[in-house]
A = this chain, B = another copy of it.
Amino acid sequence: MVEMIEGGVTKPQGFLAAGVHSGVKYRSMDLGIVYSEVPADAFVGYTSNKVKSAPVQVMMKENSPKLSAVVVNSGNANALTGRRGMEDAITMKETAAAELNLDPAEVGVMSTGLIGRFMDMHKVKYGISKAAGSLSKGRDADASFAEAIMTTDTIKKECAAAARLKDGTLVNIGAISKGSGMIAPHMKVLHGTTLTLITTDAKLSPAFLETWQEILDDSMNMVSVDGDQSTNDTCILMANAMSGGNCADKDPEFKAALMEVMTTLARTIALDGEGATKLIEVQVMGAETKDDARKAVHAIINSPLVKSAIFGSDPNYGRIMMALGNSGCAFNLEDVRLTIKGGDMEVPILDSGAPVFQEERSVEVVRMAMDNKEVTIIVDLAIGDGQAVGWGCDLTYDYVRINAEYAT
């Protein structure tokens, strides 16, 4: 039994959080800490961009199996900051460790914001001390932490789930994510700038890492706002076992609950893509392989022409096929079925390599389906069993505005 419930990162037993204003940003909250009363097993996915931020490099090198706290700042990504950036990321860990009476190895660090500027460590250290002193539980704590890690986000990406495991244990999962631009994570476990923090009181073993990669691949790694993978993407799962009960590694209910949480976050990130007015879901089925299906989803969801057509509810479905044709995925044009869904309309588009209709009136039906807050593109390649689902958003005037003015 999996149930989505009200709550955030402090929902599972033993987790506290705080968000404060350190001064890195002019006004908004910009520094947060999540803390577990007992050391938690940590499962981390990092960006696969070759240019990695200082906090990502520091975390990957240390590769701690257990984390008791994670410190996060927004406003400055601490990326492209060379040796000084590395020192600053280490200082963030050390400062939080000292404040919380922990070993620095038990403290995770994440940063998001502008690339290529040094951190103002005076402000950051002040913020860490303030946040460490105001850790608490409940919706206010969730909210302050969530706000502290946001950049151009306009929606709070938070959710929680409860699952009853096979042994009867009730476990909770809390989750928070930030990310609106530079979003096309391709996170590799151990080795996504969405910053995501998942807390759970379930008990997990190190062997859960493989399942974690699988879940990341089907959720976070299938979101794309602009096809630009960040230097800072990091996704941390902390499991502190405080629910009691057996190891949940193989429990189908736990996996289902975690997948539901991750998918909810992924869809919210896409919907809150910079300047987005619509959520686009792309479903590809019948591909030769899963990898092929993924390639096709990514090509469609990243095409600026598809994205701007959907923004304008412009029934230019040929662009979807153009993107599919560039994806490198195997298919025979004559066999491809293309359907566009929006609201309660489901419109078949292609048959035998040509549109099923040509009349202006029928094209109008496509426009009506596209004129919805959520548009689903369904592509059936009909040559195999490979399938994948991904999420993106439309390309709007506001995306351009936000990104033409970001640093200033």
A residues adjacent to B (C-beta < 8 A): 49-52, 77, 79-85, 114-118, 181-182, 226-231, 302-305, 308-309, 311-312, 314-319, 321-326, 331, 333-334, 350, 352-355, 358, 363, 395-397, 399-401, 403-408
Residue of B nearest to A49 (CB): B325
Task: Establish whether residues B80 and A304, one from each chain, have CB atoms under 8 Å apart when the complex forms.
Answer: no
- Which residues from B are CB-within-8-Å of A401? 397
Can you give 25 A-B contacts (C-beta < 8 A)?
Answer: A49-B325, A51-B325, A52-B325, A80-B321, A80-B353, A82-B352, A83-B352, A84-B354, A85-B354, A115-B318, A115-B321, A115-B322, A116-B316, A116-B321, A117-B358, A181-B305, A182-B305, A227-B227, A227-B304, A304-B399, A304-B403, A309-B406, A311-B400, A312-B406, A400-B400
Q: Which 7 residue pairs spanning A and B have beta carbons closest together? A: A115-B318, A312-B404, A51-B325, A82-B354, A308-B403, A116-B318, A49-B325
Question: Complex: how many Å from CA A326 to CA B405?
Answer: 23
Task: Establish whether residues A308 and B353, one from each chain, have CB atoms under 8 Å apart when the complex forms.
Answer: no
Extra 5 A-B pairs, beta carbons < 8 Å, given A49-B326, A115-B316, A304-B399? A51-B321, A77-B318, A80-B350, A227-B304, A399-B400
Question: Complex: how many Å from CA A83 to CA B85?
Answer: 60
Task: Establish whether residues A116 and B317, one from each chain, have CB atoms under 8 Å apart when the complex forms.
Answer: yes
Task: Establish whether residues B314 and A407, one from each chain, have CB atoms under 8 Å apart when the complex forms.
Answer: yes
- Which residues from B are CB-within-8-Å of A115? 316, 318-319, 321-322
- Which residues from B are CB-within-8-Å of A49? 322, 325-326
- Which residues from B are CB-within-8-Å of A50? 324-326, 331, 333
Among A319, A323, A333, A395, the one with the most B-chain Cβ atoms within 10 Å of its Cβ is: A319
Question: Complex: how many Å from CA A408 to CA B364?
Answer: 10
Question: Complex: how many Å from CA A403 to CA B314?
Answer: 8
Question: Complex: how many Å from CA A399 to CA B326?
Answer: 21
Question: Complex: how many Å from CA A309 to CA B408?
Answer: 10
User: Known: A49-B326, A231-B325. Is A400-B404 also a contact (CB below 8 A)?
Assistant: no
Residue of B nearest to A57 (CB): B333
CB distance from A278 to the nearest CB of B (A): 11
CB distance from A285 to the nearest CB of B (A): 18
